[in-house]
A and B are shown apart, each in its own frame.
Chain A
Amino acid sequence: MIKVKSPRDFGAGLLFILIGLGGFWFGRNLNIGIASRMGPGYFPMMLSGLIAALGLLVMIKSFAIDGPEIEKPQLRPLFFIVLSMLAFGYLIERIGLAFSVAVMIIIATFARRAKFDIKETLLLAIGMGVFAVFVFIYGLGQTLPAWWGK
């Protein structure tokens, strides 16, 4: 029975192989051409092949050489930070910069494991929302919807 000795390398190898295969798959309709007249597919296919090959190499190595375990991911910070970003992007057209910043900040505070401090969070959210409008719209003249969206 072959055993993975270095999980991180195994994962990285797998990731590289997937990216390489992805390059092949999504570029399958690109014309490769010949060396003297390269088509749009030539360089991408070359790269995808190399990436997949390196992935294989890293993966094979992971069976031979010991390495550290993959740290268990903590989903809380990742989830709430990404959610706060998406919320901002989705809401800014609809409710304007000030409010979408406030919403983003409130969601982002949940990324911490510590106790939720309502007063501090609200103060920060309101303060940042107002600050953003003054700095970016009035100060730097960016064309963003300020208070209520378009």
Chain B
Amino acid sequence: MDLGFLNNLIDGFIAAGSLNNLFFCLIGCMLGTLIGVLPGIGPIPTIAMLLPVTYGLGPLTSLIMLAGIYYGAQYGGSTTSILVNMPGEASSVVTCIDGHQMAKQGRAGAALGVAALGSFFAGCVGTVFIAAFGPPLAAFAQKFSSPEYFALMVLGLVTAVVMAHGSLVKAVAMILIGLLFGLIGTDVNTGVQRFTFGVEELWDGMDFLPMVIGMFGIVEIIKNLEGPEVARQAMSTRIRDLWPSLQDFKDSWKAVLRGTLSGSLLGIVPGGGVVLASFAAYTIEKKLAKDPSRFGKGAIEGVAGPESANNAASQTSFIPLLTLGLPSNAIMALMMGAMMIQGIAPGSAVMQTRPDLFWGMVASMWIGNLMLVIINMPMIGLWVKLLSVPYRLLYPAIIMFCMIGIYSTSSSFVQIVLTAIFTGFGYLLLRLDCEPAPLILGFILGPLMEENLRRSMVLSRGDPMIFFSRPISATLLVLALIVVALIVLPQFRKTREVAFVED
């Protein structure tokens, strides 16, 4: 392997190490931890909400901050899982199982310590993963032209569907609806307006902020308000020493390694990401354990594995976005949106044209992980206190942040009305069991897919066989077909259902 990436990585550390970038990295990590701790608001609406704030920052600074929110949320989520038995994020649902049991046995410190150190280790490995695999992948992607990109997007979307939970047909439909929504606005090739209904605000395409905030942020609040108010009570036991004992280390280091590896791999797969990674890691640990009956009763491996896995995955899920321009999940789609707002087209070209951006971001992830360990260990007490803020005071504040975020980007009532419409749409989807995340993916990719399809068809004079006559695009499409074939197989279907049953 070419070790030139080490030099680049050093340049990245220099870029990310500027006082300004360190500051926003810290802000991102803290905000991430905060939303990770608070149930009822996830990283998707938070990143969407904070996008307007980043418009004024430089591209690298804003990406550093947004990435910090994302992986910071994984840290925060584990804290509440262990102490309160309430996962702040979907990715820490499994951490509750054994983490909270450990806390009940008075070993909260060990659980939190192992979760933090495992996450830090996984974060470091994830960073190296990106640094090592990013450049070759990007170089490979340089050979891509329109047919390959189209095939790649098809593969990405198909895989994302398989990995999503719930009905497959519905997930496909949601992606297609997202693609269709993505086409709203003026057609770049002909200047014709499509689906704009005479609304001036839609001429440049629909902003994704109202859509994301409506469908994810506001609908989440409404969902929480429909249920009974839950009292959140933290463990009364004092968290004495956060440092795990030597025995804890011995028990958990293998789980950390396995979690890191599986998480790193699952992070790269489109549609994979953090939730799947933590579930998979838990299953692996339980399968490999000499005495599986300990699981659910405070097995430290059940904390170490998933926590390492979700953090590793949160890092490596940047790989397809930064190298191929393909967002692998809804959060990466938002990051892609953030990059496009800054005038950067994500993809293989970024590494050539803006190496500081790629390497600076990679370096910032390592720095951010270090910050999280150092800051969060002593601050756990404060985070737990925050949990006692009742939801009735919290949700009006969340709505306020969402609304100001949307209004400040456009100063237009229309965007608020759009948010309201998407709130209604998202609520309808919730009632009809349609997972909205694939829609975001489609929405971001819509215009790109159309453009690449168009160009391919111009190249081939309208012959769709072009996708199969070029080796790379043919391989990608065959892979997509294999994935589709797998879904239809009853054996695989069963495994998939089982995999998501613990949800």
B-side interface mostly: helix
Instruction: Please state if A108 and B395 are interface contacts (CB–CB under 8 Å).
Output: yes
Q: Is the CB of B192 within 8 A of A73?
A: no
Given A8-B431, A128-B396, A51:B417 Cβ within 8 A: no
Residues of A67-103 contacting chain B, CB below 8 A: 68, 70-71, 73-74, 77-78, 81-82, 84-86, 88-90, 92-93, 97, 101
Which size bracket describes the interface of B in this complex? 35 or more
Is B222 an interface residue when CB atoms closer than 8 A count as contact?
yes
Interface extent on A, as a size class?
35 or more
With a CB–CB cut-off of 8 A, which chain B residues contact A86?
416-417, 420
State A101–B341 Cα separation when bound (angstroms).
27
Query: Cβ of A16 and Cβ of B173 under 8 Å apart?
Result: yes
Does A21 lie at the interface of the complex (its beta carbon under 8 Å from any beta carbon of B)? Answer: no
Flag B154-187 by CB within 8 Å of A: 1 or 0 each: 0000000000000101101100110110010001
Inter-subunit contact B177/A19 (CB<8 Å): yes
Knowing A36-B457, A47-B179, A50-B176 are in contact, say whether A114-B462 is a contact too (CB < 8 A): no
CB distance from B202 to the nearest CB of A (A): 12
Scan A22-63; emit 1 where CB is below 8 A from any B CB, else 0: 010011001100111111101110011011001101100100
Does B18 interact with chain A (Cβ within 8 Å)?
no
Which one of A16, A50, A101, A120 contacts B400 once the chains associate, using CB atoms below 8 Å? A101
- Pick the contact of B399 from A44, A47, A50, A104 — CB < 8 Å? A104
- Decide if B173 touches A128 in the complex (CB within 8 Å): no
Question: Which of B170, B392, B408, B462 is the one whose CB lies under 8 Å from A58?
Answer: B170
What residues of B have a CB within 8 angstroms of the CB of A85 in the complex?
218, 399, 403, 416, 419-420, 423
In the complex the two chains form, what is the Cα distance from A60 to B189 in whole Å? Answer: 38
Tell me the nearest residue of chain B to A136, going by C-beta. B404
Given A44-B180, A47-B176; 6 other pairs, CB 8 A cutoff: A37-B458, A40-B190, A58-B169, A112-B225, A136-B404, A142-B404
8 A–B contacts from the bound complex (CB under 8 Å):
A12-B432, A43-B453, A57-B169, A71-B431, A73-B431, A82-B423, A111-B225, A136-B404
Q: Which residues of B contact A (CB under 8 A)?
A: 53, 56, 167, 169-170, 172-173, 176-177, 179-180, 183, 187, 189-190, 192, 194-195, 197, 218, 221-222, 225-226, 229, 392-393, 395-397, 399-400, 403-404, 407-408, 411, 413, 415-417, 419-420, 423-424, 427-428, 431-434, 449-450, 453-454, 457-458, 460-464
